[in-house]
Amino acid sequence: KAKGAGRKRFHIFEASSKYDHVENFIHELALSVAVEKEELHLHYQLIYNPVREEVIGAEALLRWNSANMGMIQPSDFIPVAEETGLIIPIGYWVIRQACKDWHLLKAEYGPQFKISVNISRIQLNEHLFVDQMLQILEDEHVDPRVVELEITESTTIHSMEDVQQTLRRLRAEGFTIALDDFGTGYSSLSMLTLLPIDKLKIDRSFIWEMNVSLISAILAMAHALNLQVIAEGIETYEQYRMLKEMNCWGVQGYYINKPAQFALLPKQVVVTKYDTIF
Ligand code: C2E
Ligand code: MG
Ligand code: MG
Ligand code: MG
């Protein structure tokens, strides 16, 4: 009886993995069509300094509004784009669009405004990456010093040497580098001292836990290493107040704003003791 059940499970597994394969292929095709048909858009989420009470920047977040499949989340299509290499042209599209929008955002929020873009490991390993980035910024009349590149902790695990070298070149050109989702990967403290980075973005899971001792330890360590800190996933006034009292340099989350297209961003941030401002 147990044998039969096992065989049955095997068949189910086989069928679903075949299906996954086909689904992936269709996804890949659709994604290449999406790039051509201009179904990709950027949303922005503000980054706010709670002490100075000003908007200091925004993170560009990619959205795929498919004519056939509706809104598709980045977590569903970025892995496919990475596997197929499509993330390379998509990534260049993202930086170009973010640069175009930066001119509008800066006019709205002031000269301190910086634009953040997420960069995947695949992009960083492309040998023309730095040159292409500089060309795009030059085309769009944007100085690298107002562009922040977010890389995730896991990116730095692979080919540490190459990553370090590319990051050093980018920093020498004026870009700033933020380590995204900090605390979720496997980075050791010694790795933090080796990596050429400017910022840490504390992963939202630590914020949601309201893990005060952990957050203050990260802030103290960052301070000692001369790194600025942004807290992700701020959803409530309590979380906001905690991070403001801790002198956290930047906060980001639904409490400040939900990611939105440029035209729908709040002109200014209004801090209230109410958790939901929507
Ligand atoms: P991320 O860079 O860590 O971006 C933050 C994610 O958290 C975003 O999800 C954002 O919408 C969400 N978020 C922000 N504040 C809150 C909050 O208060 N509560 C909750 N529940 N969620 C919040 P999103 O837009 O779905 O993006 C997911 C991930 O996809 C990003 O994580 C980033 O790693 C990746 N991604 C997005 N755009 C790009 C891109 O242009 N290029 C690359 N390579 N990756 C991208
Ligand atoms: Mg990010
Ligand atoms: Mg993050
Ligand atoms: Mg994330």
- The ipTM, to two decimals, is 0.97
CA 213 / ligand 1 centre spacing (Å): 25
pLDDT of residue 157: 67
> Which ligand has an atom closest to residue 278 CA?
1
Candidates 121, 111, 3, 129; CA nearest to 57 is 111
Sign of the dihedral through C-alpha 200, 206, 212, 213: negative
CA 123 / ligand 4 centre spacing (Å): 17
How much is the pTM? 0.90
Residues with CB under 6 A from ligand 1: 45, 61-62, 73-75, 78, 94, 118-120, 150, 180-181, 233-235, 253-254, 259
Do residues 81 and 24 lie in contact, with contact meaning Cβ atoms separated by under 8 Å? no
Q: What is the spatial distance between Cα 90 and Cα 81, in angstroms, rounded to a whole number?
A: 8
> Which ligand has an atom closest to residue 203 CA?
3
Candidates 91, 92, 105, 103; CA nearest to 57 is 105
Q: What is the spatial distance between Cα 232 and Cα 234, in angstroms, rounded to a whole number?
A: 6
Give 249-273 pLDDT, tens digit per residue: 999 999 999 999 999 999 989 888 8
Helix then strand then coil, in percent of the chain rounded to 5, is 50, 20, 30
Mutate to test the pocket of ligand 1, among 78, 116, 239, 265 (most ligand atoms within 8 A of CB): 78
CA 181 / ligand 1 centre spacing (Å): 10
Residues of the chain with pLDDT under 70: 1-21, 156-158, 187, 275-278
CA 182 / ligand 4 centre spacing (Å): 10
pLDDT of residue 254: 96
Structure-block tokens of residue 40: 């990709």
CA 182 / ligand 3 centre spacing (Å): 8
Task: Write the residue with the smallest CA distance to atom 27 of ligand 1.
Answer: 74
Candidates 198, 101, 206, 96; CA nearest to 150 is 198
Candidates 124, 59, 115, 62; CA nearest to 88 is 124
Cβ burial, residue 227 (10 Å; 0-12/13-18/19+)? buried
- Give φ, ψ of 39 to 5 degrees: -90, 0
- Which bin fits 181, alpha (ψ -120 to 50), beta or left (φ > 0)? left
Give 138-185 pLDDT, tens digit per residue: 999 999 999 999 998 777 666 778 889 999 999 999 999 999 999 887
CA 168 to chain centre: 20
CA 1 / ligand 1 centre spacing (Å): 47
- H helix intervals, the chain: 2-37, 74-84, 87-109, 121-124, 129-139, 153-157, 160-172, 189-194, 204-208, 212-224, 237-245
Task: Write the residue with the smallest CA distance to atom 17 of ligand 1.
Answer: 233
